[in-house]
Amino acid sequence: MDFIAKGIEMGYIAFDDDRKNINYCYQGKKRRYTDPEEQVQAQIFCRLILEYGYPNHHITINETVTLGSSTKQADILVYHDDALSQPYLVVECKQLNISEAEFKNAVLQAFAYAHALAGTTKYVWVTKGDKDEFYKFDKNTNKRVEVANIPQFGELETMPFQFVKGGMYRFNAEKVVSLHDLSKVAESDLIRTFKQAHDALWAGGELNPSQAFDELDKLIFCKIWDEKHTEKGKPYQFQIFAEELPDNFKKRIDALYEQGKLQDAEVFNKPIDLTPERMQTVVRYLQKINLTKTDLDSKGKAFETFLDSYFRGEFGQFFTPRPVVKMMIDALPITNLSKVLDTSCGSGGFLLYALEKVRLKAAKNYVNYMDDPDDRESWKRYWHDFAEKRLFGIEINEQIARVAKMNMIINDDGHTNVIACDGLYPIEAILNQTKNKGFTANSFDCIVTNPPFGSTMRQTEKTYMQFEKGQTPYYDFAVKEVHWIDAAVKAKQAPTGRENQSTEVLFIEQCHKFLKAGGYLAVVIPDGILTNSSLQYVRDDIERKFRIVAVVSLPQTTFTHTGAGVKSSVLFLKKHPQAMTDSIKTIQDDLKQAILLEKKVAKTFQQWESEKKEALKPLAKAKDDATQAKKDAINEAFTEKWNALQEELAETFQQRKQTALPNYPILMAMAEHIGYDATGKPSNLNDLPEISQTIERFIANLENGTLTNFQFPPL
């Protein structure tokens, strides 16, 4: 219910034309509504009348209370009687964004008012709009006990809990009590709630921000588990119960966590590490919200917004900007039957956008899903089966993997296929580490990922980088093959293990292993993979294993606001069948041999070697510096000639490949504007939607065999 609107309708409150002032009509009080605290007070005033049933004439606003030698104004007092002589309830209102310390002071302030008033005061309510604390109070014994709620007007006591699934609780055989069910909330309210719950745990340094986020993540998991598994007519467990000892409360929440953990033992594998009091703090923020029924877009965006600000500001992590994610997902032929993977999923952005793409398709297929129960069931099954069975993610950081799971849970599941693991482990090792057997080789239709760049995997540190003669290595890119030109002229040499390899190169090979033949890979890569001469072997390997579909050049500033300034592109690839890869390798090898024979490379090398030896003979016995300088010059001249010949041969190979290998069009695009500027601020200029639509059409033509009819957009 919109209590303010209803209060106006019923004549309890009124506003000036400019809405700067609020009038409490019966009380004859006019207050500044631009004051954030007044906005909370007005809401509570209307709730007391409309929700709790207290008569308007039993309520006073900002009444003066004597506290020792001073006087202060109590925000709201509710009386037993028409004469306003027997105060019953004290309400202390604060604005939304106060700290936990300020809230505790507000509790003390409210009890100071209760002490100063007559002994008839029974209850205290302290609120800041999104958080409430209710207390039962006895002035004679100075005893105060936290309760779940204040009584309805005319009731002497309250129920020991406030929230029941369905809103109706059967007290006994004769009596059914109307209580609250959980409420859906707006996106902005949810963002604020997440942030305030996190800040309350952080408490300015008592927990570090990373710990606080991790514990909040676990409690949100408990909250959603409770919503889904509480029976109708039963009280939710994720709420404050009246007169409950803190340790008993903690046992109740821990029990929820343990139940949920049975399904997610791989990531939710550590207990909640909070005191009962800190746990209660978070529960007070979240208990009234229905996360399950809050609009998917709203809660997804709220969690994502909170995630982005938190991870960027506190956790030192950055994730792929959402316009880039959306472009990559929109371009790929993902359907509800596709098996999709992100090998380094971070907080789950690619997975969520893939899920959203399938949801939108479900809405088009079942247009009456909001009204027709059969359509709604089919709509839900269409995308939920995809999320539950066909959407997979790997994240090396256990804490971030937990966040990805929670992101999926917030968006109505798919979380059981997110695992905490090094995405570069051999696939068999990944399967051995997890109970989830979906991470099989050659099984994924689409992989979309932004692997970490700039990191180096060293042979001495990673077993999957180690290479022993006579054994087939896991990664081809962990092996340093003898260059084809050197192999033609020098004594036979065996391949050796590379001392190190960049993560982005290894991830391309790992994605190839995961993809089925004909599957698509969309990957963010540093431009060095496309341009550096030292990485030609990587490009040759990509050419053998994939059909290059498209290359989208991103601006230099794409990742600037995250602290990464590497110029990047998005590469779209389609995995060749093994027979095609073998055929291309044969063509490449035959072409190299033909060039070596045509250019008489072995004979030329031997001739130059002989010439070098002859030139060095007269200098062999001399040991002085001048003679050494002459030797160095002769060797250098030979090396320069040999390097020049190698460059010539390599260029000849690249040129002839273009006609020898299957010829096909590649879509090249350059994005100048990507929906945000170098600081991360949103912009109205964005080339990415048009680019993704073009690639989507290009792939559709490729799949249909009609690519010859494809019309490229004008330059």
CATH code: domain 3-158 is 3.90.1570
Residue 563: what pLDDT? 65
How does pLDDT run across 614-664, given as a tens digit for each residue?
Answer: 888 888 877 788 888 988 899 999 999 988 998 899 899 989 988 888 889
Q: Which of 285, 283, 224 lies closest to 259 in space, CA to CA?
A: 224
How does pLDDT run across 23-47, given as a tens digit for each residue?
Answer: 999 999 999 999 999 999 999 999 9
Whole-angstrom distance, CA of residue 448 vs CA of residue 508:
11
Whole-angstrom distance, CA of residue 445 vs CA of residue 226:
35
User: Strands (DSSP E) along 25-130, which ranges?
Assistant: 29-32, 59-67, 70-79, 87-93, 123-127
Edge-to-edge strands, sheet with 340-342: 418-420, 391-395, 340-342, 444-449, 515-526, 568-575, 546-553, 667-670
**Which amino acid is present at 484?**
W
Whole-angstrom distance, CA of residue 227 vs CA of residue 229:
6
Residue 141: what pLDDT? 79
How does pLDDT run across 385-399, given as a tens digit for each residue?
Answer: 999 899 999 999 888
Residue 583 to residues 515, 575, 576, 579, 597, Cα–Cα distance (Å) = 19, 14, 10, 6, 21
Residue 316: what pLDDT? 45
Whole-angstrom distance, CA of residue 582 vs CA of residue 370:
52
Which regions of the chain are under pLDDT 70?
171-176, 203-206, 264-267, 296-297, 308-318, 412-414, 468-471, 561-564, 713-715
Write down the pTM of the prediction.
0.79
Whole-angstrom distance, CA of residue 44 vs CA of residue 32:
16
Cross-strand partners of 79: 87
Q: Which two tokens stand for residue 65?
A: 């209370």
Whole-angstrom distance, CA of residue 690 vs CA of residue 682:
18
Q: Is 634 exposed, middle or buried (0-12, 13-18, 19+ CB in 10 A)?
A: middle
Residue 294: what pLDDT? 78
CB 45 within 8 A of CB 59: yes
Provide the sign of the torsion angle of the four alpha carbons 566, 569, 574, 577, taken in this order: negative
